[in-house]
Amino acid sequence: MTGDIVINLRGGKHTLTSPLTLTAQDSGTGGFKVIYRSYPGERAVISGGQTITGWNLFDAGKNLYRASAPNINTRQLYVNGAKAQRARSSQNPAGFTKTSSGFTTTNPAIAGYRNLTEVELVGFHGWRDFYCRIGGVSGGNITMQNPCWNNSQRSLPGVAFNTVSYIENAYELLDAAGEWYYDRPAGYIYYIPRAGENMASAEVIAPKSEKLIDGQGTPGAPVHDISFTGLTFAYAGWNFPSSANGYVVYQTGFYIDTAAPKLVPGNVHFTAARNVIFQDNVFAHLGAAGLNFENSSQNITILANKFEDISSNAISLGNVWDEATTNTNNQNRNFSVANNYITRTGFEYYDASGIMGGYLDAADISHNEIYNISHSPVTLGWGWGTNSYAKNNSVSYNYLHKFTQVLEDSAGVYTLSSQPGTQIHHNHIDQAIRNFGCLYPDEGSANINWHQNVCQGVPQWLHIWTGSIHDNMVQNNYSDTANMENKGTNNTVNSNNVITGGNWPAEAQSIMAGAGIEAAYAGVKTLPLPIAQ
């Protein structure tokens, strides 16, 4: 290469039937990059969806429409660019009692549900959510499918699948506008339109592909020197939870499959990537995680992108099983995640974070706005006290607000294990709906400096709940609540400020004003979502 290679994608929708797979052979050389971008003045949508047409009124009494859709498998449906709701029951249905193999129920109708073994029971407990399919019903006894049920009971038994939060994916539960059901054996999708939707002209898309871009490098031959600019990635899914494995979360987008936790894949996913840039892109209507980098990825820039309507984590960085790696070539290192707008993520798998980092060295997460999400905006670390190569990370100048809306046991910034040289500072953290709130160094968190953060409208501003949390510095933070816990070991917690009556001092006001997306990148919030073509 004697210069950058630029691939211009014209505006409109480019539908993939298989992912764009990139290896070392597709990389830039000689200091130049391969650049994928939208043609100037246009925006290309890279889609993994299938358009569903031929809708006919099926049940006038319910305003229920039906279309033929054979040979697909999907957990999501989008109508005119808006996500529809899989048919589900009311919240916390009565009459369920846990047994060794599932539940008993006082609702005799469940036994007659169409495609019974594709109906899912969903449960929440603490920071965990569970999606398991019914195996059968006999005399009010519901037997759940395995290995999902056994995994939900064996792993972390203190927070097991104990109660039913709702029933999902049953034709008989179609009873509200915006709900849909896919009768997979018969090959039909059913949908009740929302107000203003005309099924003769509506654009209805079901995800068909699970990956849009698949970067497949190795530490010895990484995929490298590639950038993606001004593109929209949309309408990809993830169907693993629709198997007998279901979805049994371990924590924060890591689910239980075999003995080790596995990461929910990214619909845009890279392994062993180097010198890769994502800038000015939109990630929307995605059924897995948005963007993942793992397995010795290094020198990654994620700048001024918009993430909206993502089922799991918006951004996942690194791994949770490589703590003993000493060869720096094989570590996950040097990430810059800045000026991104992340909203409505974790909106199917509620355990997810806006930004999730495993074991990382030198990750800088700064000036992002993360708003209206299900759980923790930023999660950093793993291991509950494990020694690792994680160090020198920074979470700073972020505006993190309206979070922890479904599950509990999270905070604006949540950490695990020792991370020497790591600083959490100048973040404005506002409106945690559930426990615990603002700053949460969890088990084994150590050698982290928490300073100059503003905690507003949270149940607790600091949650140090056990002795394994040690040798942290927590100083010069501001909070409008005095509620906190400090039960760790050898932590320095002083010079923090409790504010009453909204009388924030000048430094706190400066922190709030300086947090979030910088002026030069303010346009990221108004980047367009994909619309009907």
Q: The domain spanning residue 423 has which CATH number?
A: 2.160.20.10
Can you give the pTM of this predicted structure? 0.97
Nearest to 352 by CA among 370, 384, 377: 377
**CA-CA distance, 431 to 470, in Å (whole number)?**
27
Q: Quick check: is 103 in a domain?
A: no
Q: Quick check: is 137 in a domain?
A: no
Q: Quick check: is 145 in a domain?
A: no
String of DSSP letters for 329-340: GGS-EEEEEES-
Would you mind telling me the total number of residues written for the chain in this entry? 533
Number of Cβ within 10 Å of residue 531's Cβ equals 9
User: Residue 259: pLDDT band by 50, 70, 90 thresholds?
Assistant: low
User: Residue 156: pLDDT band by 50, 70, 90 thresholds?
Assistant: confident
Tens of pLDDT, residue by residue over 174-217, are 999 999 999 999 999 999 999 999 999 999 999 999 999 999 99
pLDDT reported for residue 261: 83
Alpha helices in 373-441 (DSSP H): none
Which residues share a beta bridge with 354? none
pLDDT reported for residue 61: 96
Domain that holds residue 375: 5-46+209-520
Tens of pLDDT, residue by residue over 108-147, are 999 999 999 999 999 999 999 999 999 999 999 999 999 9
The sign of the dihedral angle between the CA atoms of 443, 448, 449, 450 is negative
> Please, which residues have CB within 8 angstroms of residue 381's CB and are 6 or more apart in sequence?
357, 358, 359, 390, 415, 416, 417, 419, 445
What is the maximum span of the chain, computed from C-alpha positions, in angstroms? 73
User: What's the one-letter identity of residue 354?
Assistant: G
Q: What's the domain count of the chain?
A: 1
Burial of 200 by CB count in 10 Å (0-12 exposed, 13-18 middle, 19+ buried)?
Answer: exposed
DSSP symbol at 177: T
Residue 247: is its pLDDT beyond 90? Answer: yes
pLDDT reported for residue 271: 98
User: Residue 63: pLDDT band by 50, 70, 90 thresholds?
Assistant: very high
- To the nearest whole percent, how much of the chain has pLDDT over 90? 96
Q: Quick check: is 494 in a domain?
A: yes
Cross-sheet strand order for the sheet of 188-191: 56-59, 64-68, 188-191, 179-183, 85-86
Range name among 75-79, 393-397, 398-402, 433-437 with the lowest pLDDT average: 433-437
The pLDDT of 255-281, averaged and rounded, is 93
Three-state SS for 240? helix
Q: Which residue has the tokens 């996500």?
A: 83
Range name among 36-40, 108-112, 253-257, 303-307 with the lowest pLDDT average: 253-257
Q: Quick check: is 62 in a domain?
A: no
Q: Quick check: is 70 in a domain?
A: no
The pLDDT of 471-496, averaged and rounded, is 98
Range name among 150-164, 166-180, 484-498 with the lowest pLDDT average: 150-164
User: Residue 532: pLDDT band by 50, 70, 90 thresholds?
Assistant: low
Q: Quick check: is 220 in a domain?
A: yes
List Cβ<8 Å contacts ≥24 apart for 486-495: 486/462, 488/441, 488/464, 491/464, 493/462, 493/464
Tens of pLDDT, residue by residue over 366-384, are 999 999 999 999 999 999 9
Q: Quick check: is 119 in a domain?
A: no
Residue 533: is its pLDDT beyond 60? Answer: no
